[in-house]
Each structure stands twice: as C-alpha cells, then as structure tokens.
Structure 1
Amino acid sequence: MNGPSLLSILDLAAAQTAGDPPAYLKFLPLVAMAVIFYFLILRPQMQRQKTLQQKIATMKKGDQVVTAGGLIAKVLKVDENTVDLEIAQGVKVRAIKSTIGEILPPGGNPVAND
C-alpha cells in the first residue's frame, strides 16, 4: 500500500481529539448569551408592548394620550383602527391606534418609567 494505513489514521485522529473538550462546551457561551439576551432585552420589551396594546384596546373618549410623535392629545372618538384626537382647542386630528405611544393616567403627568 502506498498510503497511510487505516490504523495510523485512527491513531492520529484519536490523538488529536483526546485533549479537545466536548463539542457542546464550545457552544455553551453562545447559548448562555442568547438566554441572557432574551431575559434582559426581548422579554421585557414584549411585556411592555403587550401592556400597551391592552391599554390601547381599553382606550375611551376623554382619555389623554401621547402619540408616537410626542403630541399630547385628548381622545374624542375611538373607532376600530383610528382615533380622533384634539391636540388644541378646536384642532382635531385622526390618528391610527398603533401610533399611540402612551395613555396618561387621569389627573396629570405620566408615571416615570422604571
């Protein structure tokens, strides 16, 4: 035979892998980072978005809202997909519900974000 024998190839492969850690240990840091990313960033954001959607679903006439553009307005009428807002005395606009950024609590300023 001109090439290396099967036994010498197996011996060489065994010698190279004897000191290597198992393959799953190489991916453990990536899995850990993905879990940390999920619990510190993705999950809280999804919870905030869910609570905002619930607030928007219960929005009613007379509520004060902040639009995504930063306008503070009073709700005049709520439709299925749109909201009629009064941003100043006699100035009325129609906005899409999904552009509402926050619903202010009754009686004043929004609670500070924690």
Structure 2
Amino acid sequence: MFISPAYAQDAAAGGATAMLMQFAPLILIFIVFYFILIRPQQRKMKDHRDMLVQLKRGDRIVTGGGLVATITRVKEGSDEIEAEIAPGVKVTVVRGTIGSVIRPQAANDAAPAKG
C-alpha cells in the first residue's frame, strides 16, 4: 500500500572490511581506556604492593584512617604490623590498611662555591 518494502544490504557485498569498520571505533575506545585508565591503575597497585612488602622497623606510615605511626615490629609471614601512634601507645595494624610510607626528605644543601 503506502509502505514500500525495505531490502537489506547483502552481507557479502561489504565482507570483512565492512565488519572491521563497524568494530574499529569500539576497538579504539578499548585501547584508549586501557592506556588511560587500566594500565596506570595496575602500575599503582603493583607499586603499593611492593611498598607493603618493603616495610621495616622504624618506617613512619600513614594508615587508611589517617593515623600516623612508626613501625615497631613487623611480623613476618603475617598481615599484621605493630606500630606506635604515640609514646607508649602501640597498636596492631593490618598491612592492607597502610596507605603510604613517609620518607624523610634529605636537605638539598649544596656546598658554597669557592672563588
């Protein structure tokens, strides 16, 4: 009547090239997300895991809750670390809750130039 029949394009006419062109934007989006989001996050997790393994007595740490403490004892083979949050106040901290290690910054004083 008033509706004309619609004919589908032949799938063989475009072939593999047409299919690749349809998926190219999706592939490009995945590649961009990988390099902008996924890869840096994996690197950050690896660095944090390495930091937790290298903890030693005397390191100053910041927990996930914001407490600043000094490690007094590292229990090998365990996820627990004993830390001192105030003089004489020791707490047990789980390794996974440690957010960062405070490293003392050396002064960058150069010797005065002679002359």
TM-score range with shorter-chain normalisation?
A: 0.7 to 0.9
SS at match of 1:69: coil
Match of 1:56 among 52, 55, 59: 52
Alignment TM-score, normalising by the size of structure 1: 0.73
Q: Does 1:97 align with 2:110?
A: no
**Mapped partners of 1:19, 1:81: distance in 2:** 59
Return the match for 1:106 from 101, 104, 107. Answer: 104
Identity %, equivalent residues: 37
Give structure 1 regions of 4+ aligned residues with deviation exceeding 6 angstroms.
Answer: none
Taking structure 2 as the reference length, what is the TM-score of the superposition?
Answer: 0.72
Residue type at the aligned position of 1:32: L
RMSD: 2.2
Contact 1:63/1:106, CA 8 A, preserved across alignment: no
Q: Residues 70-104 of structure 1: CA distance to partner in whole angstroms, max 9, x if unpaired? A: 11111111112111111122221111111111111
Matched residue count: 95
Cα shift readout 1:39-83 (whole Å, capped 9, x = no counterpart)? 111111111111111111111000001111111111111112111
Partners in 2 of 1:77 and 1:59 — Cα distance? 10
Matched residues in 1 for 2:105 and 2:90: separation?
22
Verify the 8 A CA contact 1:73 1:85 in the aligned structure 2.
yes
